[in-house]
Structures are given as structure tokens and as C-alpha cells.
């Protein structure tokens, strides 16, 4: 019989290494002035400088600001722009960056020092380009766009090319935001179209004829279904911005007075992440529904074996999120209690997959497989080999416990930047994976079914399960009776 996987297990931060965020090798010690301790992972640093472990917020903002002779490391820019929203709203951060630029470069003077501005101009344009490309949702705020335009207007008189760069930047930003909005709307529509099977349709001793198509009538090839599941996963991932991983942690900071956004604002800023979690839950329930729906034991066993094969193909592709959703659906109690059905299936392959996703040792087996897939992705020659879709709930919990387990500020009031380097490493690795273009051809009929096929509620699953194989103990008998009475009363 299948063993229940416990996705809710508490765990520590994940292992792994994202080369594009590296400035120092893991474990490397910085001895300069004795100020830096052993660094447990890759760290963001300033140009030609040691990794930063902590600093005041003001210092970190100052380090973000380019000058005629200085530009921060790309890893530092990503790390700080990602984490700074825990202390200061993006619009206020950009305002302070612009104020520092104006003061340092004397952009409020007339006439401007043309030679000096021409050295500084390309660097501030580079910073703004990185910001708009990596965190485009920040610029849904009109204040952000206003600050961007203001700083470029101040340097544009020294070089007309800056006007062209501004227009190109705004055009690309507008296109990116439009695509983001379209994607978010399509996901909302899919969620609204998903429906549930009326529980009363299974509240009879003898089940009625099939009330819907089953998955095998839409797709009977496990590899094809795994490919289409990968399409859905990558579509969801493409809409999740890096800022969503930290947005839920935004709160009032007693040291700088940053105000927490309203609940509705916060929900909107994490809507793509939440939609992805809903997809995982839907796939779990869809798998369980497909198994519990058939009246005949042989049909149920056939569907179980089909999903085992689909899960195996997901593992081979690197689609760990669909893999875990399928395993979780098959481990739901209404499915796992079907002993007569399971006795008719070949479960050896299922036990192997469960072993890979076993939560023991902080999901050690899964993390080992994930590192293998990540290595394959880094050395791949095709998009097919680049696919890495992590078990998303575990990634979220890793980030959650990283946030809960490490203070944002140290006792001296400095920002615990070492914590945010690790946060950026995990989020940055995810951002690399989500940019892979799906290499598989879409099958619209299968995708439509995955998004819209009706699913049972939890009570409906139990009811269908009891109708398939009668209750074995008094607890199950009492629940069956209560469920039938409740459904019949509604009719």
C-alpha cells in the first residue's frame, strides 16, 4: 500500500549552488580586517571587494548607486533589489537612489559637467535597465516611472542617445507589463473555469454510468501527458516574479518605519505564486478523482498504473512539481484505502517514485535528484535537457524558514545581508529554471482537460471511495452514512 507523503514537514534551507550569483566559493573565509566570518555560500559583493555580510540600510543603498568610476556587481544589484523591499518600498528606494545620483553628480547644477555626466550616464542607464528587466512589476507604480523619467531627463541634455535609450526602456517595460497582465488574466480565467463534480452523483449503492470523460479517453500515453503537464508548469512559472517570494514577508520595520501594505495589495502582489499553489492542489484532486470515479475495480487499477507511468515520465523530464502532485493525489486517504484496487496494480514503480520524494532527511533523495537535474540543465545543449521544475511547496517553505530562522537585522541595527545573499541564491536559481522555453508541442485538448475537468471535493472523494470499496470499520461506516445523508438532504 502507498505511504502518505507529508509535504508539511518542517525543513531547513535547501542546498545547491547558483553560479551566476557567486563571488566567493562556499566556505571561503574573508580575513580583511577580521570583519568577515566564514561565508556558508556564494555571496554578493561590491566590485573588487570582499563579500558583504552586514551593513546599514543607508550604506547598502549607497553601494547600489553607480558613479562615473563605479558600478556594483550584478549579484549585488539583484540581491539588494530583491531584499530591500523588506525594509523600504521600491518607489522610495528608487527615489533615494535618484537623490543620491543628483547630489553626487551635481545634476541640479547648470551648466552640467558634460564629461562627467557622459561617464556616469551609461552606468545609471544600466542600473535602471537591470531593474526594469528583473523586477518589471515594480514599475506598475506610476511613481517608479516618474523617478525613472526624471533622472534620465536630467542627464539627457549631455547626450541625445539617452533619450533613445529611455524610449526603448519604456517600450520594453510596457510590453513586458502587458504580457504579464495577459498571463495573469488567463490564469484567473482557467481557475474560474475549473469546476467540481456534484457529490450527489456518487451517493448511490450502484454507480451511474460515467458522468464525464476520463483522462484515458483524452490521452492514453504517459509521456504525452507528462509533456503537457510540463507545459502547464512552465506557463505558471513564467508569471512568477522574484519579488513574490519576499512580498509576503513585508512588514512594518520598527527601525525605519516602513509600513505594511494593505491585505488586498499584498494578495495582488503574490497572486501568481498563489495561483501556482492552487494548480498543484487541483492536480492532486484531479488524480484522486480519476482513480475514485470508475465503478469497476479493474478500471481503477488501470488508471493508477497509468498515473504511475506519468509520474515516472515527469521525473525523467525534471518536472518534480507534477511528480509530487501525482504522488500526493495517489496518497490521499480516499485513494490509498482502496486495498482491493491496489492489489490489482503493479506497484513496484510507484514505491521507487515514493522513495525519490520521501520527506525523510529533509527530502534528501529529492534534493539529490534536484541537484542532478540542475547540473544537467547547466551543461545542456537543448531545452529538453534544461527543464528543472522544483517541488514548489518545498521551495516556498525553504524560503519561509530561511526568513523565520534568520533575523533581518543584527543587534547593531545592520541589515543581515548574508541572509539575503542566500535568499537571492535560491530565488535566482529558480529564475534561471523558469526561463526555459517548453520544447514540447502543445496538445490543446489535453491542456483544456487538465484545466477544466471537474474534480471531487474532499467529501466527494470519500463518498466515491466508499461507494467503490465498502467501509471497513465503524469510523468509516459512520462517515459514509453522514456523507450520504448530507448529500441526499441537499437534493
pLDDT digits (tens, 9 = 90+) for 53-92: 999 999 999 999 999 999 999 999 999 999 999 999 999 9
Q: Cα separation of 141 and 138, whole Å?
A: 6
Residues 6 or more apart whose Cβ sits within 8 Å of residue 358? 5, 364, 365, 366
Residue 209 has a pLDDT of 52
Question: How large is the average pLDDT for residues 22-33?
Answer: 34
Q: Is 184 helix (H, G, I), strand (E, B) or coil?
A: helix
**CATH architecture for residues 217-249+268-456:** Orthogonal Bundle (1.10)
Radius of gyration of the chain (CA): 26
Q: What pTM did the predictor assign?
A: 0.82
Greatest mean pLDDT range, 109-113, 166-170, 305-309: 305-309
Instruction: Compute φ and ψ for 334, nearest 5 degrees.
Output: -60, -25
Binned at pLDDT 50, 70 and 90, residue 197 comes out as low
Q: Which of 129, 153, 135, 49 is nearest to 91 (CA)?
A: 135
Binned at pLDDT 50, 70 and 90, residue 270 comes out as confident
pLDDT (tens digit, 9 = 90+) per residue, 108-158?
Answer: 988 988 999 999 999 999 999 999 999 999 999 999 999 999 999 999 999
> What are the Cα distances from residue 306, in Å, to 123, 177, 233, 301?
55, 40, 20, 9
Question: How large is the average pLDDT for residues 308-327?
Answer: 97
Q: Per-residue b/e over 169-186, b at no fewer than 16 CB within 10 Å?
A: bbeebeeeeeebeeeeee
- In the predicted structure, residue 29 carries a pLDDT above the cut 80: no
Q: Cα separation of 481 and 203, whole Å?
A: 10
**Residue 88: its H or E element:** none
Question: How large is the average pLDDT for residues 300-314?
Answer: 97
pLDDT (tens digit, 9 = 90+) per residue, 81-94?
Answer: 999 999 999 999 99
Q: Cα separation of 151 and 178, whole Å?
A: 24
Most distant pair of Cα atoms in the chain: their distance: 89
Q: Report the CATH number of the 49-174 domain.
A: 1.20.870.10
Helices (H) and strands (E) in the chain, counts: 23, 0
Residue 110 has a pLDDT of 87
- CB–CB of 48/211 below 8 Å? no
Q: Cα separation of 248 and 208, whole Å?
A: 46
Domain residue spans in the chain? Answer: 49-174, 217-249+268-456
Virtual torsion, Cα 41, 42, 46, 47, nearest 10 deg = 140
Amino acid at each position: 500500500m502507498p505511504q502518505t507523503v507529508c509535504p508539511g514537514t518542517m525543513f531547513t534551507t535547501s542546498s545547491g549552488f547558483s553560479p551566476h550569483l557567486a563571488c566567493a566559493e562556499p566556505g571561503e573565509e574573508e580575513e580583511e580586517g577580521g570583519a568577515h566570518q566564514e561565508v556558508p555560500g556564494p555571496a554578493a559583493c561590491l566590485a573588487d571587494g570582499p563579500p558583504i555580510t552586514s551593513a546599514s540600510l543607508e550604506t547598502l543603498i549607497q553601494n547600489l548607486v553607480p558613479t562615473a568610476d563605479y558600478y556594483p556587481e550584478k549579484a549585488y544589484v539583484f540581491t539588494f533589489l530583491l531584499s530591500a523591499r523588506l525594509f523600504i518600498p521600491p518607489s522610495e528606494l528608487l527615489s533615494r537612489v535618484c537623490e543620491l545620483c543628483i547630489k553626487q553628480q551635481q545634476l541640479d547644477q547648470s551648466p552640467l559637467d558634460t564629461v562627467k555626466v557622459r561617464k556616469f550616464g551609461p552606468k545609471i542607464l544600466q542600473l535602471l535597465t537591470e531593474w526594469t528587466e528583473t523586477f518589471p512589476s515594480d514599475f506598475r507604480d506610476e511613481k517608479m516611472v516618474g523617478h525613472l523619467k526624471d533622472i534620465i531627463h536630467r542627464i539627457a541634455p549631455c547626450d541625445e542617445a539617452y533619450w533613445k535609450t529611455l524610449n526603448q526602456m519604456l517600450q520594453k517595460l510596457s510590453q513586458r507589463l502587458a504580457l504579464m497582465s495577459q498571463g495573469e488574466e488567463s490564469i484567473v480565467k482557467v481557475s474560474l473555469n475549473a469546476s467540481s463534480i456534484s457529490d450527489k452523483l456518487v451517493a448511490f449503492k450502484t454507480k451511474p454510468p460515467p458522468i464525464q470523460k476520463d483522462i484515458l479517453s483524452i490521452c492514453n500515453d504517459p509521456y504525452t501527458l507528462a509533456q503537457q503537464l510540463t507545459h502547464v508548469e512552465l506557463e505558471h512559472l513564467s508569471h512568477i516574479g522574484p519579488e513574490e517570494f519576499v512580498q509576503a514577508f513585508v512588514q512594518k520595520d520598527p527601525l525605519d518605519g516602513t509600513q505594511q501594505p494593505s491585505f488586498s495589495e499584498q494578495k495582488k502582489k503574490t497572486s501568481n505564486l498563489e495561483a501556482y499553489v492552487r494548480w498543484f492542489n487541483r492536480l492532486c484532486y484531479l488524480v484522486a478523482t480519476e482513480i475514485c470515479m470508475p465503478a469497476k475495480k479493474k478500471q481503477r487499477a488501470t488508471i493508477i498504473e497509468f498515473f504511475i507511468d506519468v509520474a515516472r515520465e515527469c521525473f525523467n523530464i525534471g518536472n518534480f512539481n507534477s511528480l509530487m502532485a501525482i504522488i500526493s493525489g495517489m496518497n490521499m486517504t480516499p485513494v490509498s484505502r482502496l486495498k482491493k484496487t491496489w492489489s490489482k496494480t503493479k506497484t513496484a514503480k510507484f514505491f521507487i517514485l515514493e522513495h525519490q520524494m520521501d520527506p525523510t532527511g529533509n527530502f534528501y533523495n529529492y534534493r539529490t535528484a534536484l541537484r542532478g537535474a540542475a547540473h544537467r540543465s547547466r551543461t545542456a545543449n537543448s531545452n529538453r535537457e534544461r527543464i528543472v521544475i522544483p517541488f514548489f511547496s518545498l521551495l516556498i517553505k525553504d524560503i519561509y524558514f530561511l526568513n523565520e530562522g534568520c533575523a533581518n537585522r543584527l543587534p547593531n541595527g545592520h541589515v543581515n545581508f548574508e541572509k539575503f545573499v542566500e535568499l537571492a541564491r535560491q530565488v535566482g536559481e529558480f529564475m534561471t529554471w523558469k526561463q526555459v522555453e517548453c520544447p514540447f508541442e502543445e496538445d490543446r485538448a489535453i491542456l483544456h482537460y487538465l484545466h477544466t475537468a471537474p474534480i471531487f471535493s474532499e467529501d466527494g472523494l470519500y463518498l466515491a471511495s466508499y461507494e467503490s470499496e465498502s467501509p471497513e470499520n465503524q469510523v468509516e461506516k459512520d462517515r459514509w452514512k453522514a456523507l450520504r445523508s448530507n448529500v441526499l438532504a441537499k437534493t
